[in-house]
Structure 1
Amino acid sequence: MSTPRSATATDAVRNPRRALATVVAVVFVDLLGFGVVIPILPFYVRSFGVSDVFIGLLAASYSVMQFGFAPFLGRLSDQRGRRPVIMLSLAGSAVAWTIFGLAAEFSSLFGVAAGVAVLFVSRMVAGAMGGNIAAAQAYIADITPAERRAEALGLVGASFALGFVFGPAIGGLFASDAVVAVARDVFPAFVPATPFSLPSFAAAGLSLTSLAFAAAFLEEPARSRGTAPRTTLVSQFADALRDPRLRGLVVAFFLVSVAFSGIQVMFIPFAADVYGYQETQTAFLLTYIGVLGVFNQGLLVGRLSRRYRDSSIAVAGAVILLVALAAIPFSPELGGLLPALGGPAYLTPALLALLVVLALLSLGNSLLNVALTTLVSKATSAETQGSAFGVTQGAGSLGRTVGPPAMAALYVFTYWSPFVAGALLVLPILAILLGIARRRFDASADVDAAEGPLPPSETDGGEGSDR
């Protein structure tokens, strides 16, 4: 009889705490680089004199490549190791960001078409290398016992949120006139120093920093290597959809990505059209959501996972997310139900209602995403963790390809429709999760009936495990 995975996970590395801290730091620095470029991307595209449609196409090109490469990199990490795949992805990201910063130079030398083509090449390379998250999640599953896995995976989610909190601020700093002026004095003449190139080079530097950190401190976990034959992307997805343990989770990842990515894109137009906010105010709202995400995924999810089953947390997250999505477009009307408040003039009842709804949105998304990831890790064997995470991340990337253009079309039709559509997409996710929760409850009841009454010290629910 094989040894349970949760009993041997912490033996995979010499120092599990340091290994966990290292991989979370690597993900954070890499995502920080991604966040650096967010403020300048739309303006960079417009500097080429092309339509704003290209902004959406660039986002789609990234997600399509991530969809194609995430399962491949996940399977490769099963066969060749987590550490080399993570390092390969970080090196590729550094190359992609460097090319991105040089696109304007190509445009001046070879024409606008060449410059735009370079933008697409850089985003496609970055998307292909974006599959390193699957390897990082699998690494955490390798070194973390099952009962602590939700808490550990929540730290990865928190590093995502922190990257999007601090990254845009750093990007704005590198794009500022003062920093650009200093760079032009310091850099040699052949290195472009513009508000667009400097944030791109900063992102490349952060990826290289993360690569050096991984090379120095990230050890490969001792585990069984997968020996499955080489398979195609389509066959990996077909296998996952045939597997009753993974089928619903893959569908859930796709649907939540369609809903949430579309809402992310359309929230800023909503805030501008309904609340009259400009870039600064919407940036504060996004920072507010990011800070809440850090707290929810870094602290709250871990504590809840010790008390409740992962399937129960996922159900709760789906319900909260559904309510928040449906409430966003009607937050001004909800604010009208609140009494007049004292304090700053800008803190209107409508804004207070929006802040409450956004807090629910962050909470629901945090609970749902971390719990879904944990359920995937527990539904697969030690040898196929990377492949499973690669498939689910690929499903998420496909959803992020479909969601933004679909929700944008709905927004043109009527401003509230993308948010309501997002809420409706959560309904099948909720049905899937309720089915998983019911099956796990029935399985737990069967085990308890077969084993008889538990000793008093074992009647606390198993520290949140899905037994």
Structure 2
Amino acid sequence: MDKRLPPLLVAVFINIAGFSLILPLLPFYGQVFDAQPYEIAMLFAAYSFGNVFGEIHWGRQSDVWGRRKVLALTTFVAGLSYFAFAYAPTLWAAILIRIVSGFFSGTLSVAQGFIADVSTPERRAKTMGLFGAAFSLGFAFGPVIGGLFAGEEAVAASFRLPIFIAGGFSILASLWCLAVLRDAVPPKGKGAPLPKYSEAFAFVGGQPLLLRLFVISFFGIALFASMEAIYGLWSEENFGWNAKDLGFAFLAIGGGGLLSQLFLIGPLAARYGEARVIVIGLSLLALSMALQPIIRMPISGVLLMGLLMTGHSLAFPSAGALLSRNTPPERQGSTMGLMMASNAVGRIVMPPLFGLIYGQVGHDAPWYVGAVMIGLVALVALQAVRITDKARVVAA
């Protein structure tokens, strides 16, 4: 392992712990403003809205300034945005602050660029696995910390301390990057060209496998984000959970992702191929959604969310890997950029829609609607299996 990689993994862990620390607070923080379910879901979606623009901007800016400077700047400003979020005067101010926070936190492409700088192509898959593990570990511990330090009442003062801690984590990550992280390659002085989305649309539309992978990723990631957004409201209604309880439940979500990254996805992909792993992951997603309102017990509420994250962590990295392997080198940037943008749109649009379903149709309805939609997406994934099997036979 390149000695420059561990400092990046530590920075990713600290930053994701700060970001995820906020998640169990949002359903209850929204109640401070008497927010409706769809408005609370907008607090989740607002971060993704800012995030998509941040990923485009900061990925290119890191070519100009260097990865270290961009990571140090963005994590510092993101930390300041958390302090502003703690004192948001209205719901719409809180949503606007979440957009700003998402913009300055849109640096996964910068971190992945750093990984590309320090790892050879043959070691990149293993290195990305370590990156995913650092991400999942931060996602597991952050919500627990947020829940532990949250107050019992749905008033702004109950949430300020954990939000301050989240801001502190981001500023700590910034200082860590300045003190320890070192660029592997010098800045290029100019940003990479923007992805040519029009060309990518035309290319993907003419490739049956890639088109299906886009459908799978768009709906699957959007539905996962939607379940995450309504989970706090649903568990409060059914189990009487507060932010502290929800924080521990999110530990299962991060644990499911970590387990998948470390022990499952590699062996399963090697044995069955990425396309079948996508089907397995989607099946776990659909099963966890369908069973949540049927079993309706606190322990199952936790375990099924862990299963949801396990399915997510199997399906969508596999979809990305399969997309990359079937895209020629000269189209990698535009095609992967288009997929990132497509997934972001899903995370922006779908959670408020499911918030409306939760409020207007019924509190269990989002789970059933999500399970049915994932079932339909699984049928698309089965088509992808047939396409990859046919291509393997032809190549042989």
Q: Do both proteins adopt the same fold according to a TM-score greater than 0.5, normalized to the shorter chain?
A: yes
- 8 Å CA contact 1:262–1:400 kept in 2: the answer is yes
Counterpart for residue 330 of structure 1: 294
Q: 1:19 to 1:370 in 2, by over 3 A?
A: farther
Residue 195 (structure 1) shift? 4.7
Q: Distance in 1 between matches of 2:42 and 2:324?
A: 32
Alpha-carbon displacement from aligned partner over 1:411-456 (angstroms, at most 9, x marks no partner): 3413443222212322453344344444443444444x4xxxxxxx
Residue 413 in structure 1 maps to residue 350 in structure 2: no
Q: What letter corresponds to residue 162 of structure 1 in structure 2? A: L
The equivalences for 1:66-465 within 5 A come to 66-76=51-61, 82-101=67-86, 103=87, 112=89, 118-141=93-116, 143-144=118-119, 149-172=124-147, 174-175=149-150, 195-215=158-178, 216-220=180-184, 229-230=193-194, 235=198, 238=201, 241-242=204-205, 244=207, 246-274=210-238, 276-279=239-242, 281-332=245-296, 357-380=304-327, 388-411=335-358, 412-447=360-395, 449=396
5+ residue gaps, structure 2, are: none
Q: What letter corresponds to residue 133 of structure 1 in structure 2? A: L
Q: Distance in 2 between matches of 1:410 and 1:371?
A: 30
- 8 Å CA contact 1:138–1:386 kept in 2: the answer is no
Residue 33 (structure 1) shift? 1.0
Q: Distance in 2 between matches of 1:206 and 1:56?
A: 24
Q: 1:147 to 1:375 in 2, by over 3 A?
A: farther
- 8 Å CA contact 1:248–1:432 kept in 2: the answer is yes
Q: Distance in 2 between matches of 1:73 and 1:437?
A: 35
Q: Distance in 1 between matches of 2:59 and 2:332?
A: 8
- 8 Å CA contact 1:65–1:128 kept in 2: the answer is yes
Alpha-carbon displacement from aligned partner over 1:117-145 (angstroms, at most 9, x marks no partner): 65344212111123211332344355556
The equivalences for 1:56-67 within 5 A come to 56-67=41-52
Q: Distance in 2 between matches of 1:258 and 1:195?
A: 30
- 8 Å CA contact 1:26–1:210 kept in 2: the answer is yes
Instruction: Output the TM-score relative to the length of structure 1.
Output: 0.69
Q: Distance in 1 between matches of 2:199 and 2:162?
A: 37
* Aligned residues: CA RMSD: 3.8
Task: Give the number of the structure whose alpha-carbon radius of gyration is greater.
Answer: 1
Residue 29 (structure 1) shift? 1.0
Q: 1:391 to 1:28 in 2, by over 3 A?
A: farther
- 8 Å CA contact 2:117–2:184 kept in 1: the answer is no
Give 1:38's match in structure 2, choosing from 23, 35, 52: 23
Q: Distance in 1 between matches of 2:225 and 2:259?
A: 21
Q: Distance in 1 between matches of 2:335 and 2:64?
A: 13
- 8 Å CA contact 2:118–2:184 kept in 1: the answer is no
Alpha-carbon displacement from aligned partner over 1:325-349 (angstroms, at most 9, x marks no partner): 22322225xxxxxxxxxxxxxxxxx
Q: Distance in 2 between matches of 1:79 and 1:386?
A: 17
Counterpart for residue 23 of structure 1: 8
Q: Distance in 1 between matches of 2:118 and 2:327?
A: 15
Q: Percent identity?
A: 29
Q: What letter corresponds to residue 367 of structure 2 in structure 1? A: F
Alpha-carbon displacement from aligned partner over 1:281-333 (angstroms, at most 9, x marks no partner): 5444332333232222233323434444233322221222223322322225x
Q: 1:309 to 1:123 in 2, by over 3 A?
A: same
Q: 1:381 to 1:24 in 2, by over 3 A?
A: farther
Q: What letter corresponds to residue 285 of structure 2 in structure 1? A: L
5+ residue gaps, structure 1, are: 1-15, 105-111, 178-192, 333-349, 450-467
Q: Distance in 2 between matches of 1:418 and 1:75?
A: 37
Q: Distance in 1 between matches of 2:267 and 2:362?
A: 40
Counterpart for residue 343 of structure 1: none
- 8 Å CA contact 2:61–2:70 kept in 1: the answer is yes
Q: Distance in 1 between matches of 2:204 and 2:186?
A: 29
Q: 1:23 to 1:387 in 2, by over 3 A?
A: farther
Q: How many residues align?
A: 388
- 8 Å CA contact 2:210–2:323 kept in 1: the answer is yes
Q: What letter corresponds to residue 168 of structure 1 in structure 2? A: P
Q: Distance in 2 between matches of 1:356 and 1:91?
A: 35
Q: 1:263 to 1:208 in 2, by over 3 A?
A: same
Q: What letter corresponds to residue 257 of structure 1 in structure 2? A: I
Q: 1:391 to 1:202 in 2, by over 3 A?
A: farther
- 8 Å CA contact 1:70–1:128 kept in 2: the answer is yes
- 8 Å CA contact 2:279–2:315 kept in 1: the answer is yes
Q: Distance in 2 between matches of 1:256 and 1:36?
A: 23
- 8 Å CA contact 2:230–2:354 kept in 1: the answer is yes
Partner of 1:217, secondary structure, is: coil
Partner of 1:18, secondary structure, is: coil
- 8 Å CA contact 2:16–2:135 kept in 1: the answer is yes
Q: Distance in 2 between matches of 1:141 and 1:367?
A: 22
- 8 Å CA contact 2:19–2:166 kept in 1: the answer is yes
Q: 1:55 to 1:267 in 2, by over 3 A?
A: closer
Residue 169 (structure 1) shift? 3.1
Residue 51 in structure 1 maps to residue 15 in structure 2: no
